[in-house]
Chains A and B, each alone.
Chain A
Amino acid sequence: MPMAFRRSLACLAAVFYLLLCSCAPQGADASAAAQKFSGTFYGAFDTVISLIGYTEKEETFNAAFAETQEIFMHYHRIYDAYNAYDGINNLYAVNHSAGTGPVAAEPELIDLLLYMKELQPLLLGRVNIALGAVLSCWHEYREAGQAVPPVEQLQALAEHCSYDDVIINEEAGTVFFADPYLQLDLGAVAKGYACERAAQALLNGPMPSFIISAGGNVRCGLSPLDGRLHWGVGIQDPIAPSFLNQIMETLYTHDMSVVTSGDYQRYYEVNGVRYHHIIDPDTLFPSGFMHSVTVLTQDSALADALSTCFFLLPYEEGRVLADSMEGVEVYWVLNDGSVYFTAGMGPLLRSQGASSLR
């Protein structure tokens, strides 16, 4: 082969190389072939659920997305307090007839009831899933949007809210309410519990680098495959007007759950007074200790239950509880706008110099 022709070939190769480079996807240089995919679905737990994942193939993401959606819908039907489904002994069915005798309940429902029983001592009586009678009364008044439930009515219903009256027979797979007026409400934990099941499936599958966002519940999988170490999770400013929906802080983490409870999330107004949806089991009214609280811990169900618990505790008491817990970090926004956070939370916050890269 003549020398000159060989040089031309080398040049040709160089040009082709240049072309190839210009066609490669942006930001894909560092971590080989992984690409970012995302998808959204509706219908589970009355919210919009998003999944973002890094993987090499689109089919891998699509399969993971379908499985995530299936898991959320599966748990949604079982923990649904408002609708019956053919062939599913769900929360609605149990609430409807467990007052008259033991009724069959799906294993996933029994599991969650036992889990919450186990958590009771930790939650200091703040999160009571037997408070259903009181909570559904608030729910009806909130939907109507006209008035506040009469105190006497709430107090009468509160007589029927003892978790000790929920008799779970694990072997038989049944639930019985010793108090026929008792109602269960899983709103404080069901979404987080389902989210953790979905996250475990993803962590054990071919796309462990993911983040799930399910309306206030965020579950981060392993690090994003774009060169970053952490995912970024925005914390909403609970005081800024809703149309600004302003971020007040960004938290960087991976393989962790981040759940926020806030007075701005679900509320209605009567005579200019705002009534949100997180009810203090003692006063039977929306609690007023703070604007919002954000909990970071690995398990999404625990994060969900704890965020409600901390929201229903005065800051000082919550701080003592948080400091006594391993693997739990908390971020409070109090009524005067002041912010407090636990020692382990600081190094994860953007305002404190944290970064997604280290």
Chain B
Amino acid sequence: MKRRDLVLIAALALLGLAVLTIALLQNRSKTSAGRMQVFVDGSLYTEVPLEAGKTLAIRQENGAENVIHMTKDGFYMESANCRNQDCVHQGPVTQDNWKTRVLGTHVICLPNRVDVVLVTDEYDPELPDV
């Protein structure tokens, strides 16, 4: 094997490593623990990073309004103008509690058709699907 072969091999290996690292990092930021998704009527409305103390208001044309309060590792429904207030009573979702919640990573406002989801990349085959 010649010297320039070694150089080529080393260069390719480095390139591979670099691309691998970038791919991994991108993957992590995509499914980071610190994000939440909001679905309105089944369609993705927005996906935002969590910022403790910040609120996000979802106002729809039909007058429906939900206010989501973010925490350092989750969120809760602060208020909603829906008739049953179930979403407010569903309490907070956090990185600690979602595995034991019936609704898992979700807080759902049925009358307003708002579904807020904590993004998590953890996979455990024994967790319920529904």
Q: Do A and B bind each other?
A: yes
Question: Interface on A for B, CB 8 Å cutoff?
Answer: 4-5, 7-8, 11-12, 15, 18-19, 22-23, 26-27, 39-42, 46-48, 50, 52, 211, 213, 218, 224, 226-228, 231-234, 236-237, 242-247, 250, 350, 355-357
- Complex alpha-carbon distance, A356 and B97, angstroms: 21
A-contact 0/1 string along B3-17, CB 8 Å cutoff: 001001100110110
Residue among A27, A42, A52, A236 with most chain B CB within 10 A? A42
Contacts of A39 in B (CB 8 A): 42
- Complex alpha-carbon distance, A46 and B129, angstroms: 21
Q: Could you tell me if B126 and A232 are in contact, using CB atoms closer than 8 angstroms? A: yes
Given known pairs A7-B5, A48-B110, A48-B115, the reply for A232 and B127 (CB within 8 Å) is: yes
Q: Could you tell me if B5 and A245 are in contact, using CB atoms closer than 8 angstroms? A: no
A-contact 0/1 string along B106-130, CB 8 Å cutoff: 0010100101000000010111111
Q: Could you tell me if B129 and A224 are in contact, using CB atoms closer than 8 angstroms? A: yes
Among B18-26, B52-60, B65-73, the stretch in contact with A? B18-26
- Complex alpha-carbon distance, A211 and B128, angstroms: 11
Given known pairs A15-B16, A42-B41, the reply for A247 and B101 (CB within 8 Å) is: yes
- Complex alpha-carbon distance, A244 and B24, angstroms: 35
Given known pairs A4-B1, A243-B91, the reply for A233 and B15 (CB within 8 Å) is: no
B83-110 CB contacts (< 8 Å) to partner A: 89-91, 100-104, 108, 110
Q: Could you tell me if A218 and B91 are in contact, using CB atoms closer than 8 angstroms? A: no
Q: Could you tell me if A22 and B127 are in contact, using CB atoms closer than 8 angstroms? A: no
Q: Could you tell me if A42 and B128 are in contact, using CB atoms closer than 8 angstroms? A: no
Point out the residue from A11, A27, A47, A232 that lies within 8 Å of B129, measured CB to CB: A232
Closest to B91 in A: A243
Closest to A234 in B: B128
Q: Could you tell me if B23 and A22 are in contact, using CB atoms closer than 8 angstroms? A: yes
Contacts of A15 in B (CB 8 A): 12-13, 15-16
5 smallest beta-carbon distances between A and B, as pairs = A243-B91, A234-B128, A213-B130, A232-B128, A15-B16
Can you list 7 A-B pairs with a CB-CB distance of less than 8 A? A12-B12, A50-B130, A232-B130, A244-B91, A245-B91, A246-B102, A247-B102
Closest to A25 in B: B27
Closest to A212 in B: B130
- Complex alpha-carbon distance, A127 and B2, angstroms: 85
- Complex alpha-carbon distance, A48 and B23, angstroms: 36
Q: Could you tell me if A245 and B101 are in contact, using CB atoms closer than 8 angstroms? A: yes
Contacts of A232 in B (CB 8 A): 126-130
- Complex alpha-carbon distance, A325 and B13, angstroms: 64
Q: Could you tell me if B125 and A357 are in contact, using CB atoms closer than 8 angstroms? A: yes
